[in-house]
Amino acid sequence: MRATAAPYAAMVMDARTGEVLHSRNADTQLHPASLTKMMTLYVAFQAIERGEITLDTPVRISRLAASEPPSKLGLRSGQTIRLRFLLRAAAVKSANDAATAIGEAISGSEDAFATRMNRTARAMGMRNTNFRNAHGLTQSGHLSTARDMSVLGRHVIYDFPQYYNLFSRRSADAGVARVRHTNRRWLDSYAGGDGIKTGYTRAAGFNLVASAQRGQERVIATVFGGSSTSARNARITELMDMGFNRAPSRATIRRPNPPAAMLTSSNSQGQVNPGKIVRVSGLITRSIRPTARPVAAPVQEDVLVAAVDADVINAAIADSVNAALTEALNAPTPAPAPTQVIAATPPTVTPIARPATETQVAALVPEATVVDTGPEVVTRISTSGGRHWGVNVGRYNTRYDAERVLLRVALNEMSTLDGSLRRVVQRSGGFDANFMGLTREGADLACRRLQARGTTCFMIGSDG
């Protein structure tokens, strides 16, 4: 399939900072086609976060939604399906019937949902975009630009990292069918590629907003007006390569400011979406410091830790942590019964008082008493009980580089990553550095804290 000479536009952006690395006709209003669904999904993520709707809310399919032209999931009027399946169908298959159903479920009608989409776009700074529907099929006045779609893609990545994995799934269960990704060829061919959204209509040509991460670098590239799928993919690859060549290897992440939810109308049951309201009763006039935890005796660990360089810490503990990591990675999966270590009754040992600071550096404090507590067993952490989430902190060229980053991140973020399993997973494009065995809340908190420190991170694991 080839498109008749649709106007061309492109933009390349450093996702970490929002810096524009390349642009051409980036502010020309063009037909976005199914790139529109990025905003449809973004508003849905907002609504879920605010408690307006849940992933398991049953959605009744209207006659309008069922009548949308392909690409579609094949939903029937009057049918009921959970919202999570509609999200998957819209993100992976680019299903038009699913997109319309999402809009109606949240705002009550397609027009009301389009109004909410436009208000959200304005709040993001998308100044040259106007939405008329939730799916992106050609309609008078339904226009956007390469710049605005790049901005939207950046918000999707950083505002909702817990849902971003939807855009890289090669296939997904959409309830009534298993759907395949519309951009799986490019995702499989480009190292680090993990999203985001394709779009095609005769008027628009072949559009794509793509993103890829390599190490600490993340680039977003947008193309409007490709003449075919293969031509579009070839151009987006050239733009991505240009972006990685021009982007600095290290940059402080400047997360975009998430827009407030723009409520517009009633839901499908005719009730006003209440959302969540926070009322501020007054201004904070002073900051109260918490009372320090009492300690038995003064300790000097704070001074020692402050004086030790991070490289010294890494050198001191790298061998022991690497050994534990290797043993954990190579250990067989444990039986369902909990692991127990049975040993002879050890002699009574007087407990050592816990130091005032939670930061402990082994082998750097000569006064500390070392107590032999017998053999230590390192096992693979259980993922039961809701601890089936994880976080990815980058893809690297070698296993050594990935393990080194895991060690550094674990030292810098001990509080939220405590108890997680460091895991290096080999992919076609390199070695993924992951922390596994976290709850959803724990993974989200860890990612937000790491991103605040300038470390690229996104959540992985749950079936969403």
- Give catalytic residue positions: 34, 37, 94
Residue type at position 362: A
CA distance to 70, 128, 143, 276, per residue, from 146 (Å): 24, 10, 11, 33
Name the one residue in this structure whose structure tokens are 């390599």.
214
How many angstroms separate the CA atoms of 19 and 12, rounded? Answer: 9
CA terminus-to-terminus distance, the chain: 33
Compute the 3-state secondary structure of the chain and give helix, strand, coil in percent, each to the nearest 5.
35, 20, 45
Name the phi and psi angles at 156, rounded to 5.
Answer: -60, -45
Q: Which of 106, 62, 86, 55 is nearest to 273 (CA)?
A: 106
Is there a contact between 105 and 48 (Cβ–Cβ < 8 Å)?
A: no
Residue-wise over 341-357: b if at least 16 C-beta within 10 A, else e?
Answer: eeeeeeeeeeeeeebee
How many angstroms separate the CA atoms of 445 and 441, rounded? Answer: 6
Helix H or strand E segment including 149? helix 146-159
Write the DSSP assignment of 74-132 as a string of letters: ---TT-EEEHHHHHHIIIII--HHHHHHHHHHHHSSHHHHHHHHHHHHHHHT-TT-B-S
* Neighbouring-strand partners of residue 86: none
Residue type at position 156: V
Cis peptide, bond prior to residue 71, ω within 30 of zero = yes
How many angstroms separate the CA atoms of 182 and 197, rounded? Answer: 8
